Chains A and B, each alone.
Chain A
Amino acid sequence: DAKTTQPPSMDCAEGRAANLPCNHSTISGNEYVYWYRQIHSQGPQYIIHGLKNNETNEMASLIITEDRKSSTLILPHATLRDTAVYYCIVRPTSNTGKLIFGQGTTLQVKP
């Protein structure tokens, strides 16, 4: 599975957009980019995933570069409840692909 690199921590002001970067320079053509987050002492929560095109849902937007070697998760209007560890994971499209978690980015949203 491709490895991902994320900054260990980031701060964001409440109400502002939070942009979380992820590098996955060794990603293969059959691998999706997934984003999960984990609020303290809870199970991870699925946010969004994508293959090549940018994606948007009610939680966030995912911007994937044209060469697919990096991506950015955007929380458009961060709230205090968005404080969590955010994990960027690449996984094969096949049903046997496992989610392997790296260290993630700890996002602290401040008032």
Chain B
Amino acid sequence: GAVVSQHPSWVICKSGTSVKIECRSLDFQATTMFWYRQFPKQSLMLMATSNEGSKATYEQGVEKDKFLINHASLTLSTLTVTSAHPEDSSFYICSARDGVAGVNEQFFGPGTRLTVL
């Protein structure tokens, strides 16, 4: 199946700093990428949908100025958590859909664990 990678796999940062997480589709072109957040013992919560070359669409309750998403190419999307605080500590997971080849399945990255001290 298609491979999606994330970098870094984990990050620890101080409160008030910004953290960038990368999501790459390795063997296909992803016209659409999704960002999810997962707190311990909870399900995945969709944060936003991004389409290559256009602005991301955020789910209700997700602050677009805090979670900056850039999808500048068909293989790369980035999520920047700005001015991170301890409550932003979570497991961030991206997924990508291969819309170019007409494949409708969504493939997920391995996740990035963010800990804000």
Contact = CB atoms under 8 A, between A and B. Distances in A.
Main secondary structure of the interface of B (DSSP, over half): strand
8 contacts: A42-B111, A43-B4, A46-B106, A49-B105, A87-B43, A95-B97, A100-B46, A101-B46
A103 interface: yes
A36 to B, nearest CB: 8
Interface residues of A, number: 19
Interface of A: 36, 38, 41-46, 49, 87, 93, 95, 98-104
Given A42-B110, A43-B111, A95-B104, A101 B43 contact: yes
Interface residues of B, number: 25
A101 B105 CA distance: 15
A95 B100 CA distance: 11
Nearest to A43: B108
Contacts of A87: 43
B44 A44 contact: yes
